[in-house]
Amino acid sequence: MRIEQLQAFLSVAETGNFGQAARKCGVTQSTISRQIQSLETDLGLPLFHRTAQSKLTVGGEQLLPHARKICQEWQNATQELADLMSGKQPELCVAAIHSVCAYYLPPVLQKFCRNYPDVQLRVTALGSDRALKVLRDGMVDVAIVMNNRFLTSSPELIVDVLYNESIEILMAANHPLTQVPEVPWSELIKYPQVVFKDGYGMQRLVQERFSRLGAKLQAVMELNTLEAFRGVVRQGELIALLPQSALVEASQDPTLAIRAIANLPLSLATPSNIVGNVSTSDSTLTRQVVMVTSHDRLQIPPIQHFCQLVRQLEMPIIGSLSKPEPLIPPNSPQFDSKPLTASG
């Protein structure tokens, strides 16, 4: 059974004449006749009395309300799809990591709302893994996350690299590590850390780096908001490894300090083969932020426009946010910059 057969059936039922039904449908009378005959064959019973006035049989009377309902649903569906492809999308859902929501997306959101005032924009801050899951489940249209090639390698997904940024250390203003402008890994591993919760790309990135160095990550607390990180870190010796875009507000807070991480010795800098979260050189710790959507979603005008706005926006974070005045020279014996060993 095809929708054209039901449409032909309704036309004949409403006009009572095969010729008038053909003119109404914009086809020949023979086409209408073939469609009705084919439908009767599919159903196994006649639908019309073949007289001067084509009247419905008992079977035709039974089919009529169902045919009307099916054709109406089909008309509604095709209209909704036409509206979708013309930009009349009711909402656009975006999932993004917290730092992107706070410092990268606001200009994009404002421009999009001006250009598509009738589209309801919904933005949710999520960890990278969760954001990619809801994208794949069809719950959001776009995800802006830390790159993870194991979760973004599907052929139906489109991945746009937005920017790369360094990872730096957040600490209290009176923390011992503020004594040097760049903290060597041999000192960094000695301090307990606040980390993102499981499912966040940053936790995996830090854990992988410590594991690669043969060192133990002292993760004593898990959080999922930047405000919570700042509140906990300023209280004592806990530190946090965070990307630059997550440290914008902390850089203006006199109770907090930010320090760069010293590059690893070349003897320990090996090409990365774990998740697409680190740069091509393991001597520095960076993360890559990407925008992910699917090929079919990118054909929809509002989603396409939103992605274009994101690609056009330049990342505002440039260079290191740490601007320390070292109290102890970098070559002080208090800080050992020797190559890190498994024993730390």
Give the pairing of strands 91-96 and 182-183: unpaired
The stretch 152-173 carries a mean pLDDT of 92
The domains located in the chain, with CATH, are: 3-85 (1.10.10.10), 92-312 (3.40.190.290)
Q: What is the pTM of this model?
A: 0.70
Nearest to 339 by CA among 285, 265, 269, 281: 265
CA angle, corner 324, sides to 319 and 328, nearest 5?
Answer: 135
* pLDDT tens-digit readout, 312-342: 887 654 455 565 544 444 444 444 444 443 3
Cβ distance 321 to 254 under 8 Å?
no
Nearest to 339 by CA among 222, 124, 186, 115: 186
* pLDDT tens-digit readout, 221-265: 999 888 999 999 998 889 999 999 889 899 999 999 999 998 865
Question: What is the residue whose two structure tokens read 């449409």?
Answer: 7
Cβ distance 156 to 132 under 8 Å?
no
